[in-house]
Structure 1
Amino acid sequence: MNTDQTTAGEDRRWRLRHLPVLLAATGGLAAAAALVGALAQGADAALGAALGVGVTAASYTLSTVVLAWADGVNPQLVLPFGLALYAAKFTLLGVVMVGVASTGWAGLIPLCLGIAAGVVVWTGVHIWWITTVHARRSR
């Protein structure tokens, strides 16, 4: 039997093991984004930047949990659940962003920048996790 299959069978939580590291990194980013926003443009920018990072973290966490569940139930569920979740999340994000933009809130641009920064940090830390921590465990 393949060692990866044995490990996965014995350790049912492997699909979520990276999540605390990613959440810690985005938590640190949210604090830094709030500080930069506050120093640059005040309270609205601080709130917007931190919320933007939070939106990204919430979105990616939801995807991770749902896809881990689907994979644990039946790997053939990953694609349909992943696509449905993707469509639902981006529809909701679009509706929320249009709604926020229509208010003229001063934190809109920092919100967008926070989302972008959250994507970069989450993706970067995830790549680091896979190439270092996960790679060591797979050997």
Structure 2
Amino acid sequence: MKKRLQHLPAGLIAMAALLVVAVPVALWRDGASGAAGAVAGIGLVTLSYTLSSLIIAWADLKARHLLMPVAMGTYVVKFTIIGVAMWFVSSADWGGLPWMGALVIAAVVVWMGAHATWVWRAKIPYVEL
């Protein structure tokens, strides 16, 4: 399983860096609710990508023939949960919602950039050694 999750630290480090940059800006701009929204947005994306990585790695390990349906299913469920969470929060009239929305988008872009950078630098053999 560890072999299938080698990409995970790159994404988690990128999320930590985004958290260190975004939360103080949100706190300065909109106070505690802005900072809470930033943390919620980054946390939601981090949790969703980490869980989907774990589920996909498990499927690859246990039932490789189900890898594509499991991966597609996790992405459908993940984006549905993020959308439902944003919808529920939008009806609550919470001041951190703009930061949460912006940081969900930013966190997805940063995670994907970290993942692409990891793939670019990884020494992945073309054949099973």
* Aligned match of 1:105: 94
Cα separation, 1, equivalents of 2:61 and 2:110: 27
Structure 1, unaligned stretches of length 5 or more? Answer: 1-11
Shift >4 Å, 4+ stretches: none
Aligned pairs for 1:20-39 within 5 A: 20-39=9-28
User: Is the aligned partner of 1:68 residue 2:57?
Assistant: yes
Equivalent pair of 1:49/1:107 in contact (CA under 8 Å): yes
Q: What is the RMSD computed on CA atoms of the aligned residues? A: 1.6
Offset of residue 55 of structure 1 = 0.8
Equivalent-residue separation in structure 2 for 1:21 and 1:88 (angstroms): 23
Higher Cα Rg, which structure: 1
For 1:47 and 1:86, locate their aligned partners in 2 and report how far apart those are by CA, in whole Å. 25
Report the AA paired with residue 67 of structure 1.
I
The unaligned stretches of length 5 or more in structure 2 are none
Q: Does 1:42 align with 2:31?
A: yes
Residue 56 of structure 2 is aligned to residue 90 of structure 1: no
Give the TM-score normalised by the residue count of structure 2: 0.89
- Number of aligned residue pairs: give it: 126
1:122 and 2:121 equivalent?
no
Q: C-alpha deviations, 1:23-49, integer Å up to 9, x for none?
A: 111012112111110111111111101
Q: Partners in 2 of 1:27 and 1:18 — Cα distance? A: 15
Q: Tell me, what secondary structure is at the counterpart of 2:21? A: helix
